[in-house]
């Protein structure tokens, strides 16, 4: 068990420090594409610190579930990060079937986010909660099909091994199926993190939102924790995609960390470009896109089995 | 010693309601005696079964019996012990709960009947699980089925209860008919009524036995599309009976299937594939139907169908593993299935008991009439949310452990070269993920609508927290859910033992601990609990009383939100119901706008059981019309029916000579 090594310390530091930067990069990319200067890269950090200093308004309707949900969001994302190898560094925790724990930890967070939204008794938040529950139950099979391809390909049941050092050789052998999985997982990433084309985090109309409307009633430090937890979730899911897309292993650990962080920033730029180029889908078209993601991975499995 | 303990337990439990039956309607002595006998008997049973399960050896016991071919042969092995432990845990908890939930003074008409048959049902379940002889098994099976009928129709003055009871009795008769045929064929193959692996038999005979077992046991377990009796029966029975039925009774079908499958060392691949398809259909459609329900107990009943699906997927992978001679698949599949049998018993009983507490407090099962109950019934709400997280298979509770085992089995089957195996994995794992996602949506819906937000009707205003006698059983069940979730390695020996009994030839030297990361699950489970606790402290610090203001919910500037503006369970479920409308066939009545000044209008939506209403009832009605001429035989006199039985017996004897 490679726990408590220098890599683990860096792992924790990167997971704790880096997530808000991704949001900053996405916003900056969108601003630049639109021809604006945009907020500074570190704006999400300033926002978080500002929120932490503020007071909180709790609705009289709400109870302990509403207060618990930001905590669950951060705790699960943080624990899930321990299962993912960042760059070419072994995951601190790795065991057969850890990918199932990975997916179900986010399920736990979703359960409490949805319940917290319904706890407020607001129709708007109920609407967002219903959409979140619907779309993520379709994103789940897509995620598992994608992971199945990696399981079949690497003959291993843990994220640490299937994203480990054998990956670069696999690209040469089974590039086509890995590309399909990559696209499928990218769609899942956008859906799970409520990015365009599934949801527009910057929209101004509550009726069209998914995630933002679910957390409408949160304020102050609790809202800060929700934003931070969401960023961490984006980071952790993104780390899998970056590792899959950049399976390079140099012997030098510092270069590996550099490649990984660079990859994460590049991923944010790609998300920013997607958000600049596309509009949000109509809500009734979202299921089709998620089913398409499932089918891509399905094709990928067939490619492997041929 | 152990078998004596268990048999004493069965006798005590079975007669627990008897003293009360002779006491007056008003007397509260009977219910207390029943509960005490139930607890004492179950303690004996748990001691005996626990010793067998932990010592990993089996116990035989047999007495001659006057029934031709029958023998009072009892065998308590690892599989039987697991089922016994479950029966003897949930039944007494239900009995204690019943002291408050179904007080004799509040139900003088049917309280005595209910307790008498509650005990009989429990004893019959225990008997059929330890039976080592087909006839003894069928005796237990029929007693169980008929006792359950009496319990379902406890409130026999209600029309809906009547209908549910009738559907149940028809379904259980059909199932028993299949089982009679199946055991007769097994007798032909093995030459005796004793449970044993038949040495060699023609493939067609084995296939017939398998199909009959799937139909006969599947009807009891509630596999889709044989689940039609289940929603009505679970919804209309008293809640602690629903808990026993959903948690334990339907598992007798799983027990039978597991037992019969264990007889066949080299099953053909299509057996496993058939079970897998049944499991996936039950799982996905079970939860889809659940999402459409607005009756709390009907919803939970459909979730039983879903969980039976997950269990069947586990058995399917074990059977596939047996046909491909892959011991890892066998061990992971069967232990996943058996552990899920336990887990589902625990969290479903917990959910039914907390749903019963809500029903007791508010008098309604309609989800959309409730709301905000967490403030009035905090302990019930906590119990329900623990059950909900567990049933969704979320960490760190027990549902996650058993689903993980089934997932591992499916993933491992992906790695095999045989196309049958990896296609099973490729369909099974995403299906299980879909089931998990949909279950999460469904339980978020029911928990939030019932316990969170604000009250949707005045029924909630008079609600009160359930009494200690109702809370205590829920607390015990919740603690069991947490224990299995956090320390799964503690029960690994029991599971290993059961797996060895199920497939002696394949499971040598493949302990579960080497296949599944059970101890690491404890690490991550406790890590999650610690992180949650730390986060809780942090947020409590950051939102101290001096920094918090209370106000109304932000409704985009609208200052007077009312409870009727909340999202209802039906609106929450609407988009998912639409996605599955090809199977659910929802009935909706929406108002049409006729004039510029609309009048009072109403909207209603309802998801009936498509299989029952559109397939099975029409078919049965058609058959009924075809057999009108046969009614002359139905005389409605007991002595005529006795004559029929005598004539049939004589005829059978003549044919046999």
Q: Which two tokens stand for residue B238?
A: 């008293």
pLDDT confidence of residue A84 = 92
- Note the residue count of chain A: 306
B177-191, B245-259, B430-444: least confidently modelled range: B177-191
Per DSSP, the three-state class of B19 is helix
Backbone angles phi, psi at B76, to 5 degrees: -110, 105
Compute the 3-state secondary structure of chain B and give helix, strand, coil in percent, each to the nearest 5: 70, 5, 25
CA distance B547 to chain A (A): 5
Backbone angles phi, psi at A203, to 5 degrees: -70, 160
**pLDDT digit string, tens, across residues B474-485:** 999 999 999 999
Residue A55 located in a structural domain = yes
Q: How confident is the model at residue B247 (pLDDT cuts 50, 70, 90)?
A: very high
Q: What is the average pLDDT across B576-591?
A: 87
pLDDT at A1 over 50: no
Residues facing residue A57 across a β-bridge: B549
Compute the 3-state secondary structure of chain A and give helix, strand, coil in percent, each to the nearest 5: 70, 0, 25
Residue contact A60–B550, C-beta within 8 A? yes
CA distance B530 to chain A (A): 9
Residue A165 located in a structural domain = yes
Search chain A and give the residue with CA nearest B449.
Answer: A118
Query: Which chain A residues touch B515 with a CB distance below 8 Å?
Result: 96
Q: Give the one of A71, A93, A130 whose C-beta lies nearest to B572's C-beta.
A: A130
CA distance B197 to chain A (A): 34
Residue contact A119–B453, C-beta within 8 A? yes
The model's pTM is: 0.95
Of A127, A128, A134, A150, which to mutate for an interface test with B (greatest number of B Cβ within 10 Å)?
A: A134
The two most distant CA atoms of chain A are separated, in Å, by 60
Query: Which chain B residues touch A126 with a CB distance below 8 Å?
Result: 566-567, 571-572
**pLDDT digit string, tens, across residues A160-191:** 888 887 787 778 778 888 899 999 999 999 99
Antiparallel, parallel or unpaired: β B587-589 and B604-606: antiparallel
Question: Which domain, by its residues, includes A52?
Answer: 6-305
pLDDT confidence of residue A48 = 95
pLDDT confidence of residue A4 = 64
Query: Which chain B residues touch A305 with a CB distance below 8 Å?
Result: 419, 422
Q: Judged by CB atoms within 8 Å, which residues 264-303 of B form the interface with A?
A: none
What is the pLDDT of chain B when averaged over all its residues? 91
B313-322, B358-367, B449-458, B561-570: least confidently modelled range: B561-570
Q: Say which residue the tokens 């961490």 belong to.
A: A232
Q: Give the one of B389, B523, B543 whose C-beta lies nearest to A220's C-beta.
A: B543
Residue contact A59–B445, C-beta within 8 A? no
Query: Which chain B residues touch A159 with a CB distance below 8 Å?
Result: none
User: Where are the strands (E) in chain A, listed by range?
Assistant: 56-59
- Alpha-carbon dihedral sign for residues A73, A74, A78, A81: positive
Q: Which two tokens stand for residue A249?
A: 């292993």
In angstroms, the CA B530 to CA B134 distance is 51
In angstroms, the CA B113 to CA B632 distance is 34
Residue contact A118–B448, C-beta within 8 A? yes
Q: Give the one of A52, A127, A137 whose C-beta lies nearest to B542's C-beta.
A: A52
pLDDT at A20 over 60: yes
Residue A258 located in a structural domain = yes
pLDDT confidence of residue B65 = 81
Residue contact B404–A101, C-beta within 8 A? yes
pLDDT confidence of residue B424 = 87
Residue A64 located in a structural domain = yes
CA distance A197 to chain B (A): 18
Q: Give the one of B412, B553, B579 whose C-beta lies nearest to A217's C-beta.
A: B553
Cβ atoms of residues B391 and B439 within 8 Å: yes
Q: Return the exposure string of B383-415: e unless at least 16 CB atoms fall within 10 Å of the residue's CB, then b.
A: bbbbbbbbbbbbbbbbbbbbbbbbbbbbbbbbb
CB atoms inside a 10 Å sphere around CB B50: 17
pLDDT at B359 over 70: yes
pLDDT at A258 over 70: yes
Residue contact A305–B388, C-beta within 8 A? no
Q: Give the one of B431, B524, B575 whose C-beta lies nearest to A134's C-beta.
A: B575
CA distance B589 to chain A (A): 21
pLDDT confidence of residue B391 = 96
pLDDT confidence of residue A3 = 53
A251 vs A274: which has the higher pLDDT:
A274
pLDDT confidence of residue A153 = 85
pLDDT confidence of residue B232 = 92
Residue contact A138–B565, C-beta within 8 A? no
Search chain B and give the residue with CA nearest A54.
Answer: B547
What is the pLDDT of chain A when averaged over all its residues? 90
Q: What is the average pLDDT across A38-61?
A: 93
Residue contact A118–B444, C-beta within 8 A? yes
A264-278, B71-85, B158-172, B410-424: least confidently modelled range: B410-424
Q: What is the average pLDDT across A59-84?
A: 94
Per DSSP, the three-state class of B609 is coil
Residue A131 located in a structural domain = yes
Asked if B397 is an interface residue toward chain A (Cβ–Cβ < 8 A), one would say no
Task: Output the CA angle A222-A225-A231, nearest 5 degrees.
Answer: 150
A89-103, B223-237, B255-269, B553-567: least confidently modelled range: B553-567
Q: Which two tokens stand for residue B476?
A: 């015990």
Q: How many domains does chain A have?
A: 1
Residue contact A129–B444, C-beta within 8 A? yes
Asked if B581 is an interface residue toward chain A (Cβ–Cβ < 8 A), one would say no
pLDDT at B70 over 80: no
Residue contact A101–B524, C-beta within 8 A? yes
Residue A1 located in a structural domain = no
Residue contact A122–B554, C-beta within 8 A? yes
In angstroms, the CA B636 to CA B639 distance is 9
Per DSSP, the three-state class of A59 is strand
Q: What is the average pLDDT across B237-255?
A: 95
Asked if B335 is an interface residue toward chain A (Cβ–Cβ < 8 A), one would say no
Residue A147 located in a structural domain = yes
SS (H, E, C) B132-160: CEHHHHHHHHHHHHHHHHHHHCCCCCCHH
Q: What is the average pLDDT across B535-558?
A: 86
**pLDDT digit string, tens, across residues B374-417:** 999 999 999 999 999 999 999 999 999 999 999 999 999 988 88
Of B441, B526, B530, which to mutate for an interface test with A (greatest number of A Cβ within 10 Å)?
A: B441
């Amino acid at each position: 068990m490679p726990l408590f090594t220098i890599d683990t310390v860096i792992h924790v530091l990167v997971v704790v420090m880096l997530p808000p930067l991704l949001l900053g990069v996405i916003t900056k990319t969108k601003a630049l594409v639109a021809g604006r200067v945009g907020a500074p890269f570190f704006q999400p950090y300033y926002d978080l610190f500002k929120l932490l200093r503020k007071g909180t308004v709790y609705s009289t309707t709400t109870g302990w579930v509403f207060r618990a949900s930001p905590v669950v969001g951060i705790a699960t994302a943080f624990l899930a990060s321990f299962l993912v190898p960042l760059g070419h560094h072994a995951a601190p925790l790795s065991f057969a079937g850890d990918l199932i724990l990975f997916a179900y930890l986010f399920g736990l967070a979703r359960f409490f986010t949805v319940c917290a939204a319904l706890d407020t008794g607001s129709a708007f938040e109920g609407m967002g909660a219903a959409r979140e529950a619907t779309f993520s139950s379709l994103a789940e099979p897509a995620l598992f099909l994608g992971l199945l391809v990696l399981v079949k390909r690497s003959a291993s049941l843990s994220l640490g091994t299937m994203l480990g050092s054998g990956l670069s050789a696999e690209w040469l052998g089974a590039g086509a199926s890995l590309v399909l999985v990559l696209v499928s997982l990218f769609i899942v990433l956008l859906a799970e993190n409520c990015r365009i084309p599934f949801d527009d985090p910057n929209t101004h109309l509550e009726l069209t939102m998914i995630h933002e409307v679910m957390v409408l009633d949160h304020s102050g430090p609790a809202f800060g924790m929700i934003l931070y937890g969401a960023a961490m979730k984006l980071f952790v899911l993104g780390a899998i995609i970056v590792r899959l897309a950049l399976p390079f292993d140099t012997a030098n650990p510092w270069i590996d960390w550099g490649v990984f962080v660079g990859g994460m920033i590049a991923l944010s730029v790609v998300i920013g470009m997607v958000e600049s180029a596309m509009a949000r889908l109509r809500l009734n078209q979202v299921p089709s896109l998620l089913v398409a993601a499932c089918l891509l991975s399905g094709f990928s499995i067939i490619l492997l089995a041929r | 010693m152990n078998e004596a303990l268990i048999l004493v337990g069965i006798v005590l439990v079975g007669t627990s309601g008897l003293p009360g039956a002779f006491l007056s309607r008003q007397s509260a002595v009977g219910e207390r005696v029943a509960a005490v006998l139930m607890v004492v008997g179950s303690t004996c049973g748990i001691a005996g079964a626990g010793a067998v399960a932990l010592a990993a050896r089996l116990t035989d016991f047999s007495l001659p019996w006057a029934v031709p071919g029958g023998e009072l042969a009892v065998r308590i092995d690892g599989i039987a012990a697991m089922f016994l432990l479950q029966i003897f845990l949930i039944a007494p908890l239900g009995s204690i709960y019943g002291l408050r939930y179904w007080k004799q003074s509040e139900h003088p008409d049917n309280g005595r009947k209910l307790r008498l048959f509650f005990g009989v049902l429990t004893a019959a379940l225990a008997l059929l699980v330890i039976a080592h002889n087909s006839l003894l098994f069928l005796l237990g099976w029929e007693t169980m089925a008929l006792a359950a009928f009496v319990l379902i129709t406890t409130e026999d003055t209600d029309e809906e209860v009547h209908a549910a009871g009738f559907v149940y009795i028809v379904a259980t008769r059909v199932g028993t008919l299949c089982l009679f045929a199946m055991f007769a064929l097994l007798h032909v193959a093995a030459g005796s009524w004793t449970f044993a692996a038949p040495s060699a038999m023609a493939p067609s005979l084995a296939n017939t036995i398998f199909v009959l077992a799937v139909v006969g046991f599947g009807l009891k377990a509630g596999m889709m599309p044989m689940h039609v009796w289940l929603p009505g029966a679970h919804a209309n029975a008293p809640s602690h009976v629903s808990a026993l039925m959903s948690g334990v009774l339907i598992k007798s079908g799983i027990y039978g299937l597991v037992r019969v499958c264990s007889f066949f060392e080299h099953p053909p691949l299509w057996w496993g594939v058939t079970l897998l398809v049944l499991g996936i259909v039950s799982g996905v459609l079970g939860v889809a139907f659940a999402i459409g329900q607005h009756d709390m107990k009907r919803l939970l009943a459909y979730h039983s169908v879903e969980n039976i699906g997950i269990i069947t997927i586990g058995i399917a992978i074990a059977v596939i593993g047996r046909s491909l001679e892959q011991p890892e698949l066998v061990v992971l599949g069967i232990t996943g299935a058996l552990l899920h049998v336990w887990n589902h018993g625990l969290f479903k009983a917990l959910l039914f008991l907390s749903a019963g507490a809500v029903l007791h407090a508010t008098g309604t099962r309609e989800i959309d009439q409730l709301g905000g109950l967490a403030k009035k019934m905090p302990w019930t709400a906590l119990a329900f949310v623990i059950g909900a997280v567990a049933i969704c298979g979320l960490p760190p509770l027990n549902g996650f452990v058993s689903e993980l085992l089934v997932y591992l089995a499916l993933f491992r089957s992906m790695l095999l070269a045989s196309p049958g195996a990896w296609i099973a994995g490729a369909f099974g794992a995403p299906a299980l993920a879909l089931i998990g996602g949909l279950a999460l949506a469904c339980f978020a819906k029911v928990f939030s609508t019932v316990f969170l937000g604000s009250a949707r009707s005045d029924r909630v205003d008079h609600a009160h927290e359930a009494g200690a006698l109702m809370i205590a059983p829920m607390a015990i069940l919740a603690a069991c859910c947490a224990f299995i979730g956090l320390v799964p390695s503690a029960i690994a020996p029991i599971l290993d033992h059961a797996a060895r009994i199920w497939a002696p030839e394949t499971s040598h030297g493949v302990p579960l601990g080497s296949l599944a990361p059970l101890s690491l699950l404890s690490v991550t489970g406790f890590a999650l609990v610690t992180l949650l606790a730390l986060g809780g402290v942090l947020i409590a610090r950051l939102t101290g009383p001096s920094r918090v203001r209370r106000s109304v919910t932000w409704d985009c500037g609208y200052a007077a939100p009312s409870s009727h503006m909340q999202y209802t369970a039906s609106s929450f479920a609407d988009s998912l119901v639409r996605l599955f409308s090809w199977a659910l066939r929802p009935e909706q009545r929406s108002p049409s706008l006729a004039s510029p000044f609309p009048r009072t209008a109403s909207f209603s939506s309802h998801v009936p059981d498509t299989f029952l209403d559109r397939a099975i009832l029409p078919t049965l009605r058609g058959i009924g019309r075809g057999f009108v001429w046969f009614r002359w035989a139905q005389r409605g006199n007991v002595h005529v029916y006795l004559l029929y039985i005598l004539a049939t017996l004589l005829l059978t004897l003549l044919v046999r000579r």
